[in-house]
């Protein structure tokens, strides 16, 4: 439920300019997500959404990684809300995310500059990490699972 709601928030904010939480709450309700103001505030904070000023006036919520004024949320902020699973084999790690979240999560992984991660490739809901060795894969997977709260 939370992951679906947060995915809907990301989709809404990416699709149009949202100037207030009340406006966002109304659009969420139109999609079938009834949410309190406190829950919506917590979701906005967990997703790292930030209001960015528009040169034409006004300010709008922006998704991490989009635009010059975008925030850079940490793995610990993003992973619990957006990552569904972390698995791997050999020198590859595969992360499954909520729909539309893979790019945001991959950018956060890239910003961490893991020594053993050679690179990331993101689709819509899947991320492939290529690592240096099988041992490195196990260490990276453990760190990502811990940050995501996956046991």
Query: For the residues 31-58, what does the mean pLDDT come to?
Result: 85
- Residues 60-91 have pLDDT tens digits of 888 766 554 444 567 787 898 889 999 999 99
Strands (E), 3-107: 50-53, 59-62, 83-89, 92-97
Band of pLDDT at residue 120, cut at 50, 70 and 90: very high
Q: Flag whether pLDDT at 141 surpasses 70.
A: yes
**Residue 105: closest CA among 113, 96, 114:** 96
Query: Could you tell me which residue, 111 or 40, shows the higher pLDDT?
Result: 40
């Amino acid at each position: 439920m939370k992951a679906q709601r947060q995915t809907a928030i990301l989709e809404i904010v990416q699709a149009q300019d949202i100037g207030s939480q009340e406006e966002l709450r109304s659009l969420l309700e139109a999609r079938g997500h009834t949410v309190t103001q406190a829950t919506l505030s917590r979701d906005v904070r967990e997703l790292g959404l930030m209001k960015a000023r528009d040169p034409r006036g006004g300010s709008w919520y922006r998704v991490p990684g989009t635009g010059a004024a975008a925030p850079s949320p940490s793995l610990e902020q993003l992973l619990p809300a957006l990552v569904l699973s972390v698995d791997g084999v050999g020198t590859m790690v595969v992360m499954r995310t909520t729909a539309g979240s893979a790019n945001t999560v991959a950018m956060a992984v890239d910003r961490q500059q893991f020594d053993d991660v050679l690179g990331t490739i993101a689709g819509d809901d899947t991320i492939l990490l290529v690592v240096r060795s099988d041992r490195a894969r196990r260490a990276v997977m453990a760190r990502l699972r811990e940050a995501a709260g996956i046991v």
